[in-house]
Chains A and B, each alone.
Chain A
Amino acid sequence: MPFDQLDLKRAIAGDERAMQRLWSQHAPHIDAVVRRLCGDPELAADISQEVWMQIFRALPSYRGDSQFGTWAHRIAVNRTLNALRKIRRIAKLEIEIEDDSAITENDSDRTFVAESIDQAMGKLSPGARAVFVLHDVEGYTHTEIGEELGITPGGSKSQLFKARAKLRKLLAHLVDESSTVAGKGNGHVAAL
């Protein structure tokens, strides 16, 4: 069911059913970007809650200048990046986190390729990961990424180049072991 203006008004007025419809329609996409930026599923779930609270708080300020999904997506990216910055600041004080200590999810439902991508992205530096996710997956321009991350467009391009180079190596096994992987029944890899 499309989220129409009446539902939007009702959600602003605090109508739970209208808010739930909004969440149901947009959570898959919004939560996906949060998950990709975070890497850690538990952390992503926590940040996602904050994201949705912020979306609901900000609903009265939505003027309809852009698609609701685009507007909410911006909030999700902003909120997630802010949360990650905060977490990193705290973490720096407590312990030095190694680059390759990313937590990965062991979920039998997820495909081998998806797990490989998540693991590989988890091995990127936080900045490179954010640039890669925003540019290659979410379709942001380098200028937009620069604004989000407080870096120059050139810095964004440089981070993306490094991220892609690292991912090409980290994901090489998907091709090297294509016969083995294909045996696991994953059509995507066989197509590569």
Chain B
Amino acid sequence: MSQLSEEQLDQIVAVERSRAQEPLNEWRTIAARAREEGLIRQEIGQRWSGQPWMQAAAAVLLLVGGIAIGRTTLGLPTANQTQAAAATTATSTSRPAAATQTDAPTGFNFASVDEASTALDRAVREYQTASQYLAANNISVRTRDSAAIYTARAAALDKIVNATESALQTAPHDPVINQYYLATMGARAATEQLVARPVALRGF
């Protein structure tokens, strides 16, 4: 009976080694098993977007973070500096209600979840209104081309995303870390949009 030489067998093995093979299963089969075992979780966005308090918290963080980063990178006064300046120039009778509330101590004690949610909703509305006002009236910001600033901001946000994702591995259900994660992802997406916009359309 004839047989291959060692070299001929090696050649056949080499052919076998390099032979492209299709996966044995389809992804949906694997995914179904993984879902059964709880290895696949709901989309993070879906998981949290259904919770109004989380939406509100994320929106607040997004706005606060965006404003703070924007002011810092554009060389505008920070919130503390603004408050200090305001304290020296404004009288208590001329200050709007919102400004008075922001001066309240940070160690709020809420009596109920509803009360805290209401406060968050109110804060969201106020920040949205303030942002719109700034966007419409702050000429110095609109006239500056800030592509480099936005790019730097995006890079910084990437680092924050990585940090919060690492933290989520340790505490995947921690609401505070999830808030930061969501807010950062939102700010990252918004920054990407700003970078992609024509210069004339860039605003705060």
Contact = CB atoms under 8 A, between A and B. Distances in A.
B25 A117 contact: no
A10 B169 CA distance: 9
Nearest to B15: A188
B166 A28 contact: no
Interface stretch (B39-47, B89-97, B132-140): B39-47
Give the size category of A's interface with B: 35 or more
A137 B16 contact: yes
A130 interface: no
Give the size category of B's interface with A: 35 or more
Given A20-B31, A172-B3, A6 B162 contact: yes
Interface in A17-58: 19-20, 23-24, 27-28, 31-32, 34-36, 41, 44-45, 48-49, 52-53, 56-57
Contacts of B17: 137
Contact of B39 (A41, A56, A114, A174): A56
Contacts of B5: 168
A100 interface: no
A13 B19 contact: no
A14 B41 contact: yes
Interface in B31-90: 31, 33-34, 37-41, 43-44
Given A45-B25, A48-B24, A9 B169 contact: yes
A52 to B, nearest CB: 5
Interface string A152-183: 00000000000010011101101110000000
Contacts of B103: none
A192 B85 CA distance: 87
Given A24-B27, A137-B17, A172-B3, A13 B168 contact: yes
Contacts of A41: 24
B12 A174 contact: yes
A174 B168 CA distance: 56
B104 interface: no
A15 interface: yes
Contacts of A15: 40-41, 43-44
B31 to A, nearest CB: 6
Given A168-B4, A172-B1, A16 B40 contact: yes
Contacts of B6: 164, 168
Contact of B16 (A23, A117, A191): A117
B160 to A, nearest CB: 13
Given A20-B31, A23-B30, A117-B12, A14 B24 contact: no
Interface of B: 1-6, 8-13, 15-17, 19-25, 27, 29-31, 33-34, 37-41, 43-44, 162, 165-166, 168-169, 172
The list of the 3 closest CB pairs from A to B, nearest first, reads A14-B41, A27-B23, A48-B24
11 contacts: A13-B41, A13-B172, A16-B34, A16-B40, A23-B30, A27-B23, A137-B16, A169-B1, A172-B4, A188-B11, A188-B12
